[in-house]
């Protein structure tokens, strides 16, 4: 961290703090498998937070249970490692209690779309200013390779030894259908693109969702690893996609599992007021009455 001042011939301004990625890196060393995509995700988060410029003590990082949910401990922000599938309601409580905090939520595809799947639509409709980052590896990695909600049909896992007969969840289409105002996807092997998407999601004034296809090197499909993803990805910006076009975003999202599009699928050009805005508004209205009581 460093301090800078404006050099414009004006009276000295108050120092402006700037941050680097290392300011958000804790001393706790990650213990993921070597080559895990989550190493790239946490690095992208450090860089995005440095660009945002909020100090660590103004940030709260909430997670559920799983490999990806270790992330809060690897940052210098406030961290809360909750129970499986309950990161979103805890994060909403934190944001409502202190709307001035920057609140980030991290989890995996199992954490977010299996046991925690029922919380997603309600977090979206309430539209608190949260950023939800899901590390989607299409498997339960922490518990030794079981079938997850996003596991492709036909995949052989420890709980589908003859091949899965279930239709996988489509996270992108789910959140778009629920009305999410910001929806994006990224891969860790495209570090610049992923960092940019995370930063955009944090800056969006409302609930934002980023699906990061973060490959599991131990239990994941060999055809779903970093080099394969990098060769397969198609950047939405290169295709001329207009993020304000929600219907087109939903059309593109339907190819989840076959095509690998990265970038911003949808960004509401007219973001509605957030739930936490209304909380502030109500608190201000009640303050004079409380003081007079």
Task: Name all domains of the chain by residue range, CATH numbers in brackets.
Answer: 21-292 (3.40.50.970)
DSSP 67-114: SGGGGGGGBSSEEEE-STT-HHHHHHHHHHH-TTSEEEEEEEHHIIII
- Report d(CA 111, CA 147) in Å as an integer: 13
Mean pLDDT by 10 residues, the chain (293 residues): 49 67 95 92 96 96 91 94 92 93 94 91 96 91 84 84 91 97 97 97 98 90 84 95 98 96 98 91 84 76
Helix/strand/coil percentages in the chain, nearest 5: 40, 20, 40
Q: Alpha-carbon torsion 222, 116, 90, 92, what sign?
A: positive
DSSP tag of 161: T
Return left, alpha or beta for 286; rule: phi > 0 is left, psi -120 to 50 is alpha, else beta: alpha
Q: What is the pLDDT of residue 6?
A: 44
Q: What is the pLDDT of residue 105?
A: 97
């Amino acid at each position: 961290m460093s301090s800078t001042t404006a050099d414009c011939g004006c009276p000295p301004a108050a120092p402006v703090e700037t941050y680097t990625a290392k300011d958000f890196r804790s001393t706790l060393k990650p213990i993921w498998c070597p080559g895990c995509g989550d190493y790239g995700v946490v690095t992208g988060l450090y860089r995005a937070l440095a660009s945002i410029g909020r100090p660590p003590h103004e940030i709260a990082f909430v997670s559920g249970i799983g490999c990806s949910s270790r992330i809060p401990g690897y940052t210098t922000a406030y961290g809360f490692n909750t129970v499986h599938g309950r990161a979103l309601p805890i994060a909403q409580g934190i944001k409502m209690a202190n709307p001035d905090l920057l609140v980030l939520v991290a989890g995996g595809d199992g954490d977010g779309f299996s046991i925690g799947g029922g919380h997603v639509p309600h977090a979206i409709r309430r539209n608190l200013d949260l950023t939800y980052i899901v590390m989607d590896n299409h498997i339960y990695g922490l518990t030794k390779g079981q079938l997850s909600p996003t596991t492709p049909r036909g995949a052989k896992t420890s709980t589908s030894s003859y091949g899965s007969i279930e239709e996988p969840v489509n996270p992108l289409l789910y959140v778009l259908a629920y009305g999410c105002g910001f929806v994006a996807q990224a891969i860790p092997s495209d570090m610049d693109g992923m960092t940019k998407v995370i930063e955009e999601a944090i800056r969006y004034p409302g609930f934002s969702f980023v699906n990061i296809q973060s490959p599991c090197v131990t239990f994941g499909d060999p055809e779903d690893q970093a080099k394969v993803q990098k060769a397969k990805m198609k950047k939405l910006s290169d295709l001329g996609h207009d993020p304000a076009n929600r219907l087109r975003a939903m059309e593109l999202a339907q190819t989840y599992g076959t095509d690998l599009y990265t970038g911003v699928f949808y960004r509401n050009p007219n973001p509605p007021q957030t739930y936490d805005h209304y909380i502030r508004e109500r608190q201000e209205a009640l303050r004079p009455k409380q003081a007079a009581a």
